[in-house]
Amino acid sequence: MKKVLYLVPILSLLTGCWDQSMLNQTKLITAGGFDYTKNGKVVTTAAVPQAVATEAGQGNIMNQIFSASGFTARQSRLRLDRKVSERLEASKNQIIVFGEDAAKKDIYHLLDVFYRDPKSALNAKLAVSSGKASEIISTDFEETKQSTGVGEYLRDLIRSAEEGATIPKENIQTVCPVMFDPGQDFALPYLEPVGGKGKAVNVKGVALFRGHKMVGSIPEPLSVVYTMLTGEAATIQMSTTKKIWHKKDEDTLNFATIKVKKNKRHFNVLVSPTGEISAEIKLKTKVVISEYPQDNLSKPPEIKEIEKLLSKKLSKDAQEVIKRLQKMNSDPYGVGRKLIGFHYPTWEKLNWEEEYPKIKFKASIEVDVVGSGIIE
């Protein structure tokens, strides 16, 4: 009897396994997408990979696609659960794709469910599709048949574009504070199906946001200049090809390809005594010429000429990026954030959405060639 009395208070302190999740009773979502119907309902599409054994003993991946609609993302998800034999679990989700119409409406309304669930995969990538998200999620891609599910394929596609600086690095967690920052916006990968029957996906650039809504896009290769201006020092393969000559006999000879080794950004926002706001981004970049079909880079004066032409071309592209951002009224570089931090009395008096497109905003890129490959 005494032993029982001792055990009762001890057992009350044990937490047990009340929140355990049995993997053999769940289906793991690896890719999800959101669209809206014509009457405003949220359509959730989810991909669940399943391994299928073959006669040769090698497993193939079959993507099961589920879809349901509701008045909110949570309601559509609950209805999705009712359509499958086991419980759907999103803790291993690798990517969320927004259809373009959904992205232009409000993505926070769709992401709210992820921020309130402690089991959410906050490192999942985010992307915008040029059409419906359901088309991207449900396509039978060539690369996903042998070894990967659609979630892993799309995640790796985006990681590859991040390494090439075509797009900035973002996920569910990183965009959350920026969405609520009145002085800064963000950008996400912009995808499009390619290959006739939609057998692959292309990263066509970046989709720009103001607050919670998509307001426009910047195509590749201009998106590489956009990423350089964010202050990214370098990536594994930050490269771009530019037309620096215009009168060569063969058009191929007019181009040069560079690989960025290091960027150093100076970003200043000033307020004049009369209250006029100006911003300037100066980027100094060290590059290696990885392709130059003319092959006459043996003399320093020739290198200087290439540096001058590349600086002129990249500065023109940088100014084009700034022009587009102001026209879209998107502030991903955080000019407003600088004003809040260093010129708060000025910021308090502003209507930033009206003021940002009108400010003087300049950008320039100075190129320093530090290598030209291994050709002697």
**pLDDT single digits (tens) 163-205:** 999 999 999 999 999 999 999 999 999 999 887 655 788 999 9
Give the pLDDT confidence of 144-163 residue by residue, as tens digits: 656 568 888 899 999 999 99
The band of 361, judged by pLDDT with boundaries at 50, 70 and 90, is very high
**Tokens at residue 315, please?**
């500065």
Q: Which helix (H) or strand (E) holds 200?
A: strand 200-210
Give the pLDDT confidence of 217-232 residue by residue, as tens digits: 999 999 999 999 999 9
The share of the chain scoring above pLDDT 70, in percent, equals 87
CB-based contact 133:214 (threshold 8 Å): no
Give the pLDDT confidence of 258-288 residue by residue, as tens digits: 999 999 999 999 999 999 999 999 999 999 9
Whole-angstrom distance, CA of residue 87 vs CA of residue 69 = 17
Residues 266-298 as b or e (16 or more Cβ within 10 Å = b): ebebeeeeeeebebebbbebbbebeebeeeebe
Secondary structure of the chain: what % helix, strand, coil (to 5)? Answer: 35, 30, 35
Whole-angstrom distance, CA of residue 150 vs CA of residue 331 = 32
Mean residue pLDDT across the chain: 87
Residues in the chain: 376
Higher-confidence position of 243 and 141? 243
State the pLDDT at residue 81: 86
Q: Which helix (H) or strand (E) holds 90?
A: none
Asked if residue 17 has pLDDT above 70, the reply is no
Give the pLDDT confidence of 51-100 residue by residue, as tens digits: 666 665 566 677 789 999 999 999 998 998 888 877 888 888 999 999 99
